[in-house]
């Protein structure tokens, strides 16, 4: 019988215990209903807006920190419960249909964690970034990846889960 090794959790998360049946049933204890409804409307509208300046203004209104020159593709989805925990650095691109979460609901608890996307980062289409993760400056994450741990700066990363594929030297 092979012994399973459980890797150390690289993400920085805060855990909050919840009673049964599971933590999603208790989301209103975590965030007020009206704040979630407001964030949902703002973020959903931003998903559909083709004008980047307006998109960024909407994301900032929801509480995200969005740097100058950020470009977010259509249908990208950001956390509606905790958008204030998401930061995207200057001149970064978030691809079509990407998802960036700052929370995760589990059976006995929910977890939150700050997500920091560095400067001049490319997050490929349909990539998911989980809470508590930092993506280093000038990193490229290939389409369809799952970012569940920190990625260093200046690399090409991809896969499920995302791994460094190679150093990606780029002039800044």
- For the chain, which residues make up each domain, given as ranges? 14-167
Low-confidence ranges of the chain (pLDDT < 70): 1-10, 168-172
How confident is the model at residue 119, as a pLDDT? 98
* CATH classification number, 14-167, choose in 3.40.50.2300, 2.160.10.10, 1.10.1740.110, 3.30.1330.10: 2.160.10.10
* Cβ atoms 23, 29 nearer than 8 A: no
Angle, helices 33-48 vs 52-61, to 10°: value is 170
Q: How many residues does this entry show for the chain?
A: 172
Q: What is the pTM of this model?
A: 0.89
How confident is the model at residue 42, as a pLDDT? 98
How confident is the model at residue 5, as a pLDDT? 42
E runs forming strands in the chain: 14-17, 65-66, 71-72, 77-78, 86-88, 93-94, 99-100, 103-105, 109-112, 115-117, 122-123, 128-129, 134-135, 140-141, 146-147, 155-158, 163-167
How confident is the model at residue 8, as a pLDDT? 47
Question: With left for phi above 0 and alpha for psi between -120 and 50, is residue 72 left, alpha or beta?
Answer: beta
How confident is the model at residue 1, as a pLDDT? 41
Task: Supply the DSSP string of 109-141, one letter for each residue.
Answer: EEEE--EEE-TT-EE-TT-EE-TT-EE-TT-EE
Sheet with 134-135: list strands edge to edge.
65-66, 86-88, 115-117, 134-135
Q: Give just the sign of the alpha carbon dihedral 133, 136, 138, 140.
A: negative
* Cβ atoms 134, 102 nearer than 8 A: no
């Amino acid at each position: 019988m092979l012994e399973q090794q459980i890797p150390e959790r690289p993400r920085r998360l805060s855990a909050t215990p919840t009673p049964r049946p599971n933590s999603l049933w208790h989301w209103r204890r975590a965030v007020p209903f009206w704040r979630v409804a407001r964030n949902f409307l703002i973020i959903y509208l931003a998903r559909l807006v083709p004008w980047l300046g307006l998109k960024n203004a909407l994301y900032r209104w929801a509480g995200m920190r969005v740097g100058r020159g950020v470009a977010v593709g259509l249908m990208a989805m950001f956390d509606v419960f905790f958008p204030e925990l998401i930061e995207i650095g200057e001149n970064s691109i978030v691809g079509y249909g990407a998802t960036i979460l700052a929370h995760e609901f589990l059976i006995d608890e929910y977890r939150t964690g700050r997500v920091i996307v560095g400067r001049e980062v490319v997050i490929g289409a349909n990539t998911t970034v989980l809470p508590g993760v930092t993506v280093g400056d000038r990193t490229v994450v290939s389409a369809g990846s799952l970012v569940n741990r920190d990625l260093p700066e200046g690399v090409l990363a991809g896969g499920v889960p995302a791994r460094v594929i190679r150093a990606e030297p780029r002039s800044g």
